[in-house]
Structure 1
């Protein structure tokens, strides 16, 4: 028995803390014979490491990496020479977590970790030091109220003109409005879609997708690795020629993990909302993107819910379709698979936990991962 068989016990048994909290713990071990030590302390360290391997043009491997340390602090338990008598010893400690520190993060290409290490330095030239360590998880909040961008609505206005064989076929206008630029996982995002299509061209649908972009930056053998993923998608349509359609609906924000990486120099995560207008053959789709921010503290001002529309359209009769009929859209929220794969790789863990993407269109179909990218607007990708 001895220090090697001791235990670090924390007040939070799951080892999860918020930035700014105190870690309260103790080290417990039993000695069966006296031991003289010169120092007994706890070290608390926060750091980031990024690493991946690329293949160069000459087929040689190039390792790219970065490292940075946020803090490395020492807290003394026993100072100077002491003799630990045969008995069960219990030593408490308190460690403050800095408020200005990034969230814990684990992935295949990089991580941000926080380690607690208890060290006993033995006295004597031939006495070995003893160490015990454990890793904790630090959560740093993202307060949407402190980000001015989140206070303003997202507005999309896509105007397209169509022609075929030098013959003009008219134009269309698609407007999409989101009342805020920031949401929390689990919230309902109100969406207003208005489409005016006086042209001779059928619009297959208006597609909304939440895109995730993760970037790792290396200083040694400098380079960047960029990963892209679609974490949620929905679609409304079709919009036949010479018709107008309007939708009001709520798009659920999937249960993505929120990381505050503002103070990390080598791992960046950002999200975009992409609106795509899918048109019939021989015409190019149009699209636009705007940043969208996901946080852990929601906006204090109320986001007004929208009244779900009955999915009616109005306009003139054309191409044999009744301009006052319903095209049979399915309200957003009826899913066969309410999974989520917020996992371009940042949810990587040794256990290999994975799940499905969270996508839907207005016919009730779902897509999961890259295999259904054509249906819901793309899947994961790596640059």
Structure 2
């Protein structure tokens, strides 16, 4: 018969930690009758994994790509002996086994996506001779600290300009130019990105809107191959720009809770955030610039 209760309880109810912090908690085991076992062990794991398929699975030419990266794998014996060869008796009743573990200093932030993840978990296992083990698992979160003061270039203003001519039948129209400016390029969740866009339309065709996208691009690497996926996080729509006129537009984007660009030592997943500015013209999209942040 399985335990009435077998669970891991962290002293931090949120279950989120910084690299270098100490995780403390307890394993609770409630038995309605005496059990024989080889002891109680705790396993703490941190790893990254990427996996994707190219081509149609099962068809000729399709191939899967897979890579793993381990950050720590630790065992703690809470009851019994690691080398025990005989069973020990655990009496009926409520039992609590405290534990503590100091996280390594260099750990990437937790991350989840369809093609890869960075995960951290704690697993408690009651070993039993000639029987199925009892086990329970708890995930926890690591948030790597990012000190923008150590990255001086991120505090500098940035300006990107692009110009493009459009064609109407056989005629080449005057160019459309756009310039985006930001006071800095280093931000953290909760910050506000303030930007301004200046647009000049020297063509005879109206610009329906200037659109700024806050985009996350994720790169996955496995077996010498790379895969990238773009995700739109926030979109801001700006003004129209009539033919032979110019417009200036200032706006803000509030950064939601997102994992940092630098996952902190993860070599198989890379995250890049950027602003992409697009001039929307009928049958033509001028993707004028990308400014990474």
Classify the TM-score, shorter chain.
0.7 to 0.9
> Over residues 24-44 of structure 1, what are the superposed CA-to-partner deviations in whole Å (9 max), with x where a residue is unaligned?
111222345555555433110
Shift of 1:200: 5.0
Q: CA deviation at 1:167?
A: 6.7
Higher strand share: 2
- Inter-partner Cα distance in structure 2 for 1:113 and 1:162: 48
Name the residue aligned to 1:49.
49
- TM-score w.r.t. length of structure 1: 0.63
Aligned to 1:174: 178
1:134 is aligned to 138
Cα distance, 1:184 vs. partner? 3.1
1:288 is matched with: 289
SS at match of 2:154: helix
Match of 1:233 among 232, 235, 247: 235
- Is the CA contact 2:2–2:134 (under 8 Å) kept in the aligned structure 1? no
Secondary structure of the residue aligned to 1:145 is helix
Q: Kindly indicate whether residue 225 of structure 2 is the aligned counterpart of residue 209 of structure 1.
A: no
Following superposition, the deviation at residue 116 of structure 1 comes to: 0.8
Q: Secondary structure of the residue that 1:182 maps to in structure 2?
A: coil
Count of residues paired in the alignment: 285
Are residue 20 (structure 1) and residue 20 (structure 2) matched? yes
Give, in angstroms, the shift of residue 92 of structure 1: 0.7
Tell me, yes or no, if the aligned pair for 2:43 and 2:124 is still in contact at 8 Å: yes
Alpha-carbon distance in 2 for matches of 1:87, 1:243: 80
Does 2:149 match 1:152?
Answer: no
1:276: which partner in 2? 278
Structure 2, gaps ≥5 residues long: none
**CA 225–286 in structure 1, closer or farther in 2 if over 3 Å, else same:** closer
Task: Quote the Cα distance in structure 2 between the aligned partners of 1:284 and 1:133.
Answer: 49
Choose from 87, 93, 103 the match for 1:97.
103
For residue 73 of structure 1, what is the aligned residue in structure 2? Answer: 74
**For the residues of structure 2 that align with 1:26 and 1:37, how far apart are their CA atoms?**
19
- Residue 119, structure 1, aligned to residue 99, structure 2: no
Structure 2 CA distance, aligned partners of 1:195 and 1:31?
71
- For 2:92 and 2:35, the matched residues in 1 are separated by 8
Q: TM-score by structure 2 length?
A: 0.80
